[in-house]
Every structure is written in C-alpha cells, then in structure tokens.
Amino acid sequence: MFTIFGVPSAALFGQLLIGLINGSFYALLSLGLAVIFGMLNIINFTHGAQYMLGALAAYLLLQYTGLGYWPSLIFAPIVVGLLGIVIERFFLQWLYKLDHLYGLLLTFGLALIIEGVSRHYFGTAGLPYALPDSLQGGHNLGFMFLPNYRVWVIVASATVCFSTWFVIERTRIGAYLRAATENPTLVRAFGINVPRMITLTYGFGAALAAFAGVMAAPIYNVSPNMGSELIIVVFAVVVIGGMGSILGAIITGFALGVVEGLTKVFFPEASSTVVFVIMAIVLLVRPSGLFGRRA
Amino acid sequence: MRKTLVLAALSAALLCGGANAQQINVKIGVLTDMASLYADDTGPGSVAAAKLAAQDFMKDHKNFKVEVVSADHQNKPDVATGIASKWFDVDNVDMITDVPTSSVALALMQVGAQKNKALIYSGPGSSDITGSKCNANTVHWTYDTWMLANGTGKAIVKNGGDSWFFITADYAFGHALERDTAAVVEANGGKVLGKVRAPINTSDFSSFLLQAQQSKAKIIGLANAGGDTINAIKQGAEFGIVASGQKFAGLLIFAPDIQALGLKAAQGLMFTETFYWDMNDGTRAWTKRWDKERNAPGKLPSMNMAGVYSGTLAYLEAVAAVGSTKDGKAVVDKMKTMTFKDPLFGTTTVRADGRGIHPAYLFEVKKPEESKYPGDLYKLRATIPANEAFRPLKDGGCSLVSG
C-alpha cells in the first residue's frame, strides 16, 4: 500500500467515496435551489426548512400512520410539495416582478417561522428515525466498510439529479419551462398556462428538498435545526456552480462533497469552512460561478 | 391567660415583620442556548428549573422577591458578553446561571469579575473554569470535563477498553474533555492511538468515523456533546462500529440525547452524570413539578437543568445569609462556607476554586427490552462519592487556592 501526503491510499479512497456520498446531498439540495432560481428568479431561503420538513414528515408518518421509510420517500415530498404550492400561490407569485431581495426576505422569514414552530413542538435534541430494514448492514470493500444505505443514497440522488436535468434540458416540457422564463408573454400566447407551470415548478423544487430530507432522516439527526445548518453550505454550492445552472449545481454539489471529505482527512478543523473559501476564490475569479452564464 | 399569649405572639409576629419588612429583590438571568444544538439539554428547561428554585426559595423567605429572566446566547461569546453587560448595567440582574458552551462561559467570567456579579454555571463543561482560568465570582455546579473523564474513562479502561481514538469537538470544551480523558486513560495504563478535531455542529461524521475505524482503537471517545454526539452515534451504528467490535464512549451525554437516539441505537453506552430524573422519590417529585413548569410533554430534565435549580437555590440561600446581592464576590465567598441540601444533588459544598462538590454516578443505557415505561433509560452502574468525583483542589492550578 502506498501513501499520499502521509495518508494511506486505502484510507483516502474511503474518504473520496464518503465525500461523494455527502456530495449527493449537496447536489440534491442545490439542484432544487437552482431549478427554483432558474425558473422563478426566487432565491429560496425556505429550502433548508423544506428539507427539514421532509425529514419531520417521515418521522410523523411513521409515528402516527405507521408508514415506513419507502412510502415516506413518496408521501413526504408530496406533502411538502403541496405546502410549497400554497406558499407560491399566496406569497411568492406577487414578488416575481420585484427585486430578488424581496423574495429572499420573504423566504428567509418563512424559514424562520417554520423552524421556530417545529422547535416549539419537537425541541432541538432531535427525533429517532431508524434505518429501513432492507438497507441495514453493509459491505466490506477491503479499504472501508460501506453501509448499504450510503450506496442507496448515492444511486437515488444521482438518478433524481440527472432525470431532473434531462427533463428540463432535453424534453418538450422542459423547453416550455425554459421558454416561459425567457419570455412568459410569448409562451402564453401559444396557449400555455405559464403561472400554473411556475407554481408546479416551485412545488417540485420544494418536493426535491423534502426528498433529500427523507433520505437524510435515517443517518442525520432529525431536528428542526438540520436544515439551517446545511442550507448555508448549499447556497455556497449554488454560488460556486453558478446561480440557475442546473448541471452546474449537480456537478458542483458532488465535487464539493469530495473536497470537503478530503479536508476532513488532511485538515479536519477547516472542514466547515473550506466550501466558503472556495466560494470566495470563485467569486473573485469567475463572479458568475463555474457554470454560470456571464451576466 | 390564653388571650395574653395570643396577644404576645401577635405582637412578636408584628415586631418580626417590622424587622423583615425590607424586601430584598433578586434578579436571576438564565443565559443559555434556546434554539441550537444544546437547547434541549439546557435552554427552556433550565429556565423552568430556575423558576422552580425561585418559587421554592420565596416560599420560605417571604421578604424576598426573586425574578427570573432569560436570553439566548446562540453559543457565541460576543453575543453572550453583550447580553450580560446589558443585564448587569441596565436591567439590575444580580446573578447569571446555566451558560452552556465553555467558550462562552470562559468569556463571560471576565464580565462577571469586572461588574462584581455572581456566575453560577451549570451548562459549561471545561474544567478550566475552576482550574487555570478560575475567578472569585464564579461557581461551577453539576459537572466538568475532569469529572466526566474520571468517571467514564476510568471505568472503561478498567473494563478492558485500553486503546482510544478521540473524535473531538473543535473548541474549548472538546479540547478540555479530550485532554482530561486522555490523561485518565494513560494514567490507568491505556493508550491513545489518535484523534480528530471536528468542527462544532458537523452533520456528517462518516469521514471521522472512518478514521476512527482505521485506527483499530477499541474505544472511540466522543469528546463532544448534544447534536454532535447524536449524529456520531447514529452514523456509527450505520457504519457498523459496534458490530465490528469497537465501542463508543460518550463522554458527555444527557437524558434528552438518549431520547433522541432511541434505546436501540444508544443501548450499552456508559457515561457519567450527576443527576437522573428517576433516581429516587425526591428527583421524581421534582421532575413532575418541572414537567408542569416546562409544559412540553415527553421531555426529560437533564442534569444541567437540575444543576440550575440546585445552584440557584444555593445562591439565594447565600444571599439571604449575606443580606444583599450587591457584592457578587461576597455572596460567592459565603457560598464557599455553607453546606447546601436539596433533593436533586443531595449535599453540596463549594470549594475555594468555585467547584461545587457532590456525588457523581456511572450510568449505562438500558436495552430496549429493559425499559419499562417512557423515560426509563438508565441503569446505575456505580456511585462515585463526592470526594472522588472531582479533580483534587491542588491539581487545578487555580490562583484562588493558596499553598
């Protein structure tokens, strides 16, 4: 076995893999943000709260209806997506013509309210949520023990990410959506219900966040704060990838997971700041982000 | 004859009333984490505990008016010192209690000394508070890192867990806990194979767990607290840490954390605490009252909250003995000469360095099938008597200790 900067290569491979898995959470979350920003021009600060609501919904479904992990993976995003639709209809739709700042303030305020209310009812220590039986255990890869659940996380997240990308960039409905962002009046003239499409897009973005929340429930502490801790990093990911760029958000999400994972080996103390250092550098060199179109 | 007696008694009562008519106002500030990772171990539960202490004290001391205020310090030293300065200067707060997060607590000690007010800590862990950084205005109740290390570390090494890897929260508390535990492990013939410093509020520990796994240490010492500990143990189960023969040593764990983990993930964990709600009739009765005051069904009080109650009560008794809250140091000095008794901690004395001295207990988390009712979480493994539970006075390096 050889070593790289004093770290055995086997250990390094393990860390790379772990980084990729964590990156898949970043990718899932930043994808939702990028979709919402790209289509609605809203900087969705409620995203972290929606992620948390997904996990919370999974917990509540298990407690009160006995629905386990797999049904939750479908129902929790639907519930949170519907809530997103309500938010869009009641609040967001009035803000599209205004400066970004209003959308940011509104969604930030909503996030604080949602998290505050959840804290009131559930406290902050967290709620227990067990791994689904079918994904217990793991495999010994020689250089590391890989839990089955993490394999599922990476597969599910990559599938969802790339199908979303495919739908938006490569299908007819995606073409409508992109056209509606560019010139809503013209698209409406073709008989397409643009406001409804926008509403559904926001609902879908919220559902994506909730999906990530359910995925996180068995391995991260389910608590009202889980979203606010993650959302700041995810915003940095979106900024690095380029606001609104869907492929950029996905690739940057995975890549930063890996970078963060490596930092945890070589300089663990900096692992909570490395993403922001990269963000600062990217903003200096390429203000529109790695994959962003130049404004 | 009988009439005269009644009259005499009445006039005596009136006379006493006259002597005691001067009302003493005391304002207690609970400065704590209301919303972040330590909020369920301290936070609103500590505020409820301080209110109970005020009620109980006023019942026996009719001439006292004790008021409890609270604020969220967000685990940030600058926020905390800002609130404390305002409390002391503008709002006439006499004493600040709880203060989880050692870095915050250490920063606040300067303010307490400057304004000559009393600080009765229950939330923070660093043993430096009554060690190298001690001061005459501070009393430290409930626990500290030395006591945790001594209780849990020693018991685990004696049971064969002689090689350790630390996952440490990267700030004052984690460093102190790691240092104190490593010292105990080595003093008892164990070895420390490695350590990794994880930033506070990390949500994914898998990278650190992998490093711990590769170290082949028998024991993975978690020198962290609250949400960090929960995440590490939860993900440890997923990565097969326990299944592959390694064991976690949770160095600081509170009852609400065990509730959050669930017994299935937490069973078998051993750790040291100074209070458990289900210890005896006294603690159970207090928990019932706390539950009513806290008004959040299903929550359990942690030892920090119990310490806020016990420490606040002790402070108030010392104020009654001194007769004024004005001189914070004088009240703290008085506390060091008194012996306190309450149903939660039994008998407590306060040492010259400010350390509250009471027994500690080694607990083990029950298996799911051993738990008979909600909140039935711990088995008592050993009692560590008060005189052995905390660091010997001479070893702390506190400047208040002479000779």
Q: Coil, helix or strand for B186?
A: helix
Average pLDDT, chain B: 92
CB atoms B239 and A138 under 8 Å:
yes
Residue type, B65: K
Taking contacts as CB-CB distances below 8 angstroms, the residues of chain B near A219 are: 234-235, 238
Question: Any residues with CB less than 8 A from the CB of A112 and at least 6 apart, and which?
Answer: none
A7 pairs with which residues across the strands? A4
**B17 located within any domain:** no
Quick one: B33 exposed, middle or buried, by C-beta within 10 A (0-12, 13-18, 19+)? buried
Two structure tokens written together for B186: 């080595």
The verdict on B202 touching A (C-beta cutoff 8 Å) is yes
| Predicted pLDDT of residue B33 | 95
The verdict on B165 touching A (C-beta cutoff 8 Å) is no
Asked if B226 contacts B41 with a C-beta cutoff of 8 angstroms, the reply is yes
Nearest 5 degrees, angle CA B316-CA B321-CA B326? 70
The larger pLDDT score, comparing residue B298 to residue B104, is at B104
Nearest CA in chain B to A135: B238
CB atoms A123 and B261 under 8 Å:
no
**B124 located within any domain:** yes
| Predicted pLDDT of residue B18 | 45
Taking contacts as CB-CB distances below 8 angstroms, the residues of chain A near B37 are: 124, 225
Task: Report the percent of chain B where pLDDT is more than 90.
Answer: 80
Q: Are residues B312 and B287 part of one domain?
A: yes
Q: Coil, helix or strand for A7?
A: strand
Closest partner residue to B39 among A124, A131, A265, by Cβ? A124
| Predicted pLDDT of residue B276 | 96
Asked if A127 contacts A233 with a C-beta cutoff of 8 angstroms, the reply is no
Question: Any residues with CB less than 8 A from the CB of B233 and at least 6 apart, and which?
Answer: B222, B248, B250, B261, B265, B266, B269
CA A207 to chain centroid: 10
CB atoms A131 and B299 under 8 Å:
no
**B294 located within any domain:** yes
| Residue A136: CB atoms within 10 Å | 15
Stretch A114-132: mean pLDDT, rounded? 89
Lowest mean pLDDT among A28-32, B8-12, B98-102, B309-313: B8-12
Taking contacts as CB-CB distances below 8 angstroms, the residues of chain B near A125 are: 39-41, 226-227, 230, 256-257, 259-260
| Predicted pLDDT of residue B402 | 78
Two structure tokens written together for A285: 């060199």
pLDDT band for position B176 (50/70/90)? very high
Asked if B324 contacts B304 with a C-beta cutoff of 8 angstroms, the reply is no
Q: Are residues B220 and B196 part of one domain?
A: yes
Distance CA(B310)–CA(B359), nearest Å, equals 14
pLDDT band for position B19 (50/70/90)? very low
Testing the interface with A: which of B239, B294, B371 to mutate, by most A Cβ within 10 A? Answer: B239
CATH code (residue B45): 3.40.50.2300
In angstroms, the separation between the Cα of residue A201 and the nearest Cα of chain B is: 29
Asked if A111 contacts A206 with a C-beta cutoff of 8 angstroms, the reply is no
**B60 located within any domain:** yes
Residue owning tokens 């309210």 = A113
In B48-113, DSSP assigns E strands to: 64-72, 95-98
Distance CA(B311)–CA(B357), nearest Å, equals 11
Q: What is the pLDDT of residues B23-74, one digit of tens each?
A: 999 999 999 999 888 898 999 999 999 999 999 999 999 999 999 999 999 9
| Predicted pLDDT of residue B6 | 57
The verdict on B199 touching A (C-beta cutoff 8 Å) is yes
**For chain A, domain boundaries:** 3-285
Q: Are residues B238 and B191 part of one domain?
A: yes
* CATH number for the domain running over A3-285: 1.10.3470
| Residue A285: CB atoms within 10 Å | 8
Q: What ipTM was predicted for this assembly? A: 0.83
The verdict on A132 touching B (C-beta cutoff 8 Å) is no
Taking contacts as CB-CB distances below 8 angstroms, the residues of chain A near B36 are: 124, 225
The verdict on B306 touching A (C-beta cutoff 8 Å) is no
Interface list for A 250-269 with B (CB within 8 A) = 261, 264-265, 268-269
Taking contacts as CB-CB distances below 8 angstroms, the residues of chain B near A8 are: 214
| Predicted pLDDT of residue A2 | 60
CB atoms B203 and A220 under 8 Å:
yes
In angstroms, the separation between the Cα of residue B363 and the nearest Cα of chain A is: 20
| Residue B58: CB atoms within 10 Å | 15
CB atoms B36 and A225 under 8 Å:
yes
CB atoms A125 and B40 under 8 Å:
yes
Q: Are residues B40 and B132 part of one domain?
A: yes
Lowest mean pLDDT among A101-105, A180-184, B12-16: B12-16
Stretch A20-47: mean pLDDT, rounded? 91
| Predicted pLDDT of residue A275 | 94
CB atoms A265 and B234 under 8 Å:
no
| Predicted pLDDT of residue A4 | 65
Testing the interface with B: which of A124, A144, A215 to mutate, by most B Cβ within 10 A? Answer: A124
Two structure tokens written together for B321: 């003995």
Distance CA(B230)–CA(B225), nearest Å, equals 8
Region of A289 on the Ramachandran plot (φ > 0 left; ψ -120 to 50 alpha; else beta): left
In angstroms, the separation between the Cα of residue A112 and the nearest Cα of chain B is: 11
Q: Are residues B40 and B125 part of one domain?
A: yes
Q: Are residues B224 and B298 part of one domain?
A: no
Asked if B224 contacts B212 with a C-beta cutoff of 8 angstroms, the reply is no
Distance CA(A256)–CA(A242), nearest Å, equals 14
Range of the domain at B58: 24-143+279-358
b/e sequence B305-336, b meaning 16+ C-beta within 10 Å: bbbbbbbbbbbbbbbbebeebeebbbbbbbbb
Two structure tokens written together for A53: 């609501």
Taking contacts as CB-CB distances below 8 angstroms, the residues of chain B near A264 are: 196, 198, 207-208, 211
Q: Are residues B190 and B129 part of one domain?
A: no
Average pLDDT, chain A: 90
- Record the pTM: 0.84
C-alpha dihedral, A60 to A64 to A65 to A68, nearest 10°: 50
Taking contacts as CB-CB distances below 8 angstroms, the residues of chain B near A127 are: 260
Q: Are residues B98 and B28 part of one domain?
A: yes
Number of domains in chain B: 2
The larger pLDDT score, comparing residue A273 to residue B16, is at A273
Stretch A74-82: mean pLDDT, rounded? 97
**pLDDT above 90: residue B15:** no
**pLDDT above 50: residue A158:** yes
Give which of B142, B139, B77, B140 is closest to B111, Cα–Cα.
Answer: B77
| Predicted pLDDT of residue B9 | 55
CB atoms B207 and A147 under 8 Å:
no
**pLDDT above 90: residue A181:** no
Q: Are residues B191 and B294 part of one domain?
A: no
Distances (CA, A) of A185 to A190, A195, A244, A290, B257: 9, 11, 21, 31, 55
Give which of A173, A158, A58, A36 is closest to A106, Cα–Cα.
Answer: A36
Distance CA(B45)–CA(B39), nearest Å, equals 8
**B155 located within any domain:** yes
Chain pair A-B, CB pairs under 8 angstroms: 126
C-alpha dihedral, B283 to B289 to B293 to B294, nearest 10°: 40
CB atoms A123 and B39 under 8 Å:
yes
Two structure tokens written together for B28: 């207690």
Q: Are residues B307 and B206 part of one domain?
A: no
**B16 located within any domain:** no
Two structure tokens written together for B242: 């326990």
| Predicted pLDDT of residue B7 | 56
Task: Report the percent of chain A where pLDDT is more than 70.
Answer: 97
| Predicted pLDDT of residue A244 | 76
Q: Are residues B198 and B267 part of one domain?
A: yes
Q: Coil, helix or strand for B270?
A: strand
| Predicted pLDDT of residue A136 | 87
Distance CA(B81)–CA(B298), nearest Å, equals 33
Taking contacts as CB-CB distances below 8 angstroms, the residues of chain A near B43 are: 124
CB atoms A123 and B199 under 8 Å:
no
Q: Are residues B377 and B257 part of one domain?
A: yes
Stretch A44-66: mean pLDDT, rounded? 95
Lowest mean pLDDT among A11-25, A104-118, A206-220, B31-45: A11-25
The verdict on B124 touching A (C-beta cutoff 8 Å) is no
CB atoms B207 and A19 under 8 Å:
yes
Lowest mean pLDDT among A12-21, A169-178, A211-220: A12-21
CB atoms B240 and A147 under 8 Å:
yes
